Amino acid sequence: MELKNYQRATLSVLKSFFEQCRIVGHEEAFKKITSEPEIAARLAGLKNTYTVWDKIPGTPRVCLKVPTGGGKTIIAAHAVKIAGETLREREYPLVLWFAPSDTIRRQTAEALKNPRHPYRLTLDDQFVGKVRVFDIDEKFTITPDDINEHVCIIVSTIQSFVKEDTSKYNVYRDNENLEPHFARMEAAKFAGMERRNPQDGLPDKDRPKYSFANLLYYHCPLMIVDEAHKAVTDLSQETLRRINPSAVIEFTATPRENNNILYNVRAAELKEEEMIKLPVALLEYSL
């Protein structure tokens, strides 16, 4: 799928930001990028200071402001490769992709799994077909080889990571199906993971939980947040600490003050690229 000019420009700025993160850190990188005259002009009028979350102080977090209908998902699909190469230097990054609702979560997962859909074609092209996509309710089927040999994208909602959630999507539960992942991990990296409760009286009680949250913590996933203005306020900093993202890329048409807006796509650019269509109203007449 051929990218529009504004989509390529958005991704170019994102790539520059991640490259600068490795040189000067994410706070200075944000200041440097957003002070460039062309980008500063785009951000004029937006309340936009860079907010660092205390629980994940080393994690870059930026928002790409893209109007509705601007192809946020196709930009996000391209962003996976950019983040993996420039920030992580990892051939196959692990991605946690947050959708704003269960309905959109299912639609997004289906689109990313469909080998003929433009979103999946984009990912397959970037990663030579080495792509695995999982809905959050398939999380226990992920194998170590999936993570080591593919870019793995887990599509979820924020609500699945709210600690009080006790539904079937509870990501903090100890699950023996995940034990093979932890058997391959370096014990030195267990620090920071949630551990089993010593009061449970279970054998090997001092080990980390074999939980999906701990699996994410170990692999430092790239976090993509769709419709971030609806989602970010629901994610506590402690929840983010448990996930331990390597970077957070938010997409929204209506960012909030603390979204760290890196780039602003103007509605006029969508119109120039014929992405905005005039509505057609059909009226029924009786003859």
Distance CA 191, CA 241 (A): 12
The confidence band for 48, taking pLDDT boundaries of 50, 70 and 90, is confident
Task: List Cα–Cα distances, 198 to 136, 176, 186, 203, in angstroms.
Answer: 28, 18, 22, 9
Distance CA 212, CA 195 (A): 13
* pLDDT at residue 277, rounded to an integer: 56
Region 200-220: mean pLDDT is 82
Q: Which CATH number is associated with domain 5-265? A: 3.40.50
The confidence band for 285, taking pLDDT boundaries of 50, 70 and 90, is very low
Distance CA 18, CA 87 (A): 6
Phi (first) and psi of residue 267, to 5 degrees: -60, -35
Note whether 239 and 53 are within 8 A (CB).
no
Instruction: Kindly report the average pLDDT of the chain as a whole number.
Output: 88
User: What pTM, to 2 d.p., does this model score?
Assistant: 0.90
- The answer, yes or no, to whether residue 282 has pLDDT greater than 50, is no
* pLDDT at residue 275, rounded to an integer: 81
* pLDDT at residue 162, rounded to an integer: 80
Q: Which two tokens stand for residue 206?
A: 């001092």
pLDDT digits (tens, 9 = 90+) for 230-250: 555 556 778 888 899 999 999
Q: Which residue has the tokens 């994690």?
A: 59
